[in-house]
Amino acid sequence: MAKLIISLAQMNIALGDERKNALVMERWAVEAARRGSHLLVLPELWSTGYALDQSRELAAVLNTGMFTQMGTVAQQNKIALVGSILEKRGQEVSNSAPFFAPNGRMLGIYRKLHLFRLMDEDKWLQPGQSPLAMDLPWGNTALAICYDLRFPELFRRYAVEGARLIVIPAEWPLERVEHWRALLRARAIENQCYIVACNAAGQTGETVFGGHSMIIDPWGKTVVEGGEAPLLLTAEIEMDVVDEVRRRIPVFDDRRDDVY
């Protein structure tokens, strides 16, 4: 699949209100499918926001609750779907991003590796233990979540292992939105791959999130970028651009992995 149509659901998340957020997700999934999208990306913790003091009550076990709802929406709209939610694992809770195929099957789940102390994630959540990359019809696709963006080692590992597209659900605050924009572009340029990043927008609880969801191509060019208001962004990308850029500037052939 050389051409890929992607929609980014830049939501204003209602804190702790799963029903309200799910209705928005379902409505935008229908619209993304109407636009011909192959993939719909939701923000980080899209169903609850950072209601971490309620995390045990709001979290779902795999194959139940919001996991089931995401799979059903993917299947009903024949669209791949990814975004992070609270996952209950025994006594632990994780910030987890399941990836659903258009048939509703979960192809993998990524659990956020780097917990963000400024939002008290380290007090309420358990960090993930492994990266996730999947071979999909449009090419190798990897996942990261929000704060992971500040750790280029993870993205370089993905690229070296063949990632052509990296998806990042996020709740990145407006006050640091220029960090978000700069780091997304850097990750795309240095790893010569597409970066697909969906942020929340507007106020959730006490925090205003920055929007500016975007897709960056392997040259570092912005394919599409939202503003600071909630909206559904849609764009088409050409996966062949990855090969073109990697041929033109052979970064991976010139790496000194004997030294670093």
Which candidate in 44, 87, 121, 171 is catalytic?
Answer: 44
DSSP state of 162: T
Identify the burial level of 188 via C-beta atoms within 10 angstroms of its C-beta, where 0-12 means exposed, 13-18 middle and 19 or more buried: buried
Could you confirm whether 44 is annotated as catalytic? Answer: yes
Name the pairing type of β-strands 85-89 and 39-41.
unpaired
Q: Which of 49, 37, 5, 15 is nearest to 170 (CA)?
A: 49
Could you confirm whether 18 is annotated as catalytic? Answer: no
> For the chain, how long is the longest CA-to-CA vector?
52
Q: Which amino acid is at 115?
A: L
Residues 6+ apart with CB under 8 A from 139: 1, 164, 165, 239, 242
What six digits make up the tokens of 257? Answer: 């992995």
Which candidate in 121, 146, 171, 193 is catalytic?
Answer: 146
Could you confirm whether 112 is annotated as catalytic? Answer: yes
Which candidate in 18, 87, 88, 112 is catalytic?
Answer: 112
Strand partners, 234: 7
DSSP string, 218-240: TTS-EEEE--SS-EEEEEEEETH
- For the annotated catalytic residues, the residue numbers are 44, 112, 146
